[in-house]
Amino acid sequence: MVKSQTDPETNDDFPDFGVVNDEENFYKKFRTNDTEYDALYLLKANAPINTEAHANAQSQMSSGKVKFLIDERMAKNKLMGTKIGNAMKPEERAEYLKPFTLTSILREEMLNLREENEGVNIILKKANKSIPKDKFSAFEYGLYYIKQEEDSKKKKRRGKISDFMFLN
């Protein structure tokens, strides 16, 4: 993703993405004039980060800060109960229901996970190996990134008391 690409089917050109937290400037050599700066956040996951990300996701969901869309079947029933929904072409209906479908898939992935502890670390294991957990991982790491950004902004806002002291 740090190099520009062309879709072989549509011939659409996609620009290269810049990395936000490239402290070592490893990805700097891939930058071009078309680079979408600060589009990717580099995260090297390990057990402590995964534990923190999972604890944060649980906290955000249990506090009600994260809300999910309704199930895709309920959304489809509601949509089909309207004149607009009945008039839609199947492709339009599928596009409209896509967020609800993805939410249902996310929920299915979440229900398939079992939490285990290994020392201080939380490990998530799949109950059914055929159900992936990629959407859940993206969800969890997205919440983790948001938390990191919020924490860094809080640290920047906190000033030292000596900055506000005026001495004669």
Tell me, yes or no, whether 86 and 126 share the same domain.
Answer: yes
Tell me, yes or no, whether 13 and 65 share the same domain.
Answer: no
Residue 22 lies in a domain: yes
pLDDT tens-digit series, residues 140-163: 999 999 999 899 888 877 666 666
Residue 65 lies in a domain: yes
Q: Is the dihedral of CA 87, 89, 94, 96 positive or negative?
A: negative
The pLDDT of residue 101 is above 90: yes
Residue 25 lies in a domain: yes
DSSP assignment letter at 160: P
pLDDT tens-digit series, residues 51-70: 999 999 999 999 999 999 99
Residue 160 lies in a domain: no
Tell me, yes or no, whether 84 and 127 share the same domain.
Answer: yes
Report the pLDDT value the prediction gives residue 129, as an integer from 0 to 100. Answer: 94
Report the pLDDT value the prediction gives residue 48, as an integer from 0 to 100. Answer: 93
Report the pLDDT value the prediction gives residue 8, as an integer from 0 to 100. Answer: 92
The pLDDT of residue 168 is above 60: no
| Domain membership of residue 31 as a residue range | 5-40
- How many Å is the maximal CA-CA distance in the chain? 77
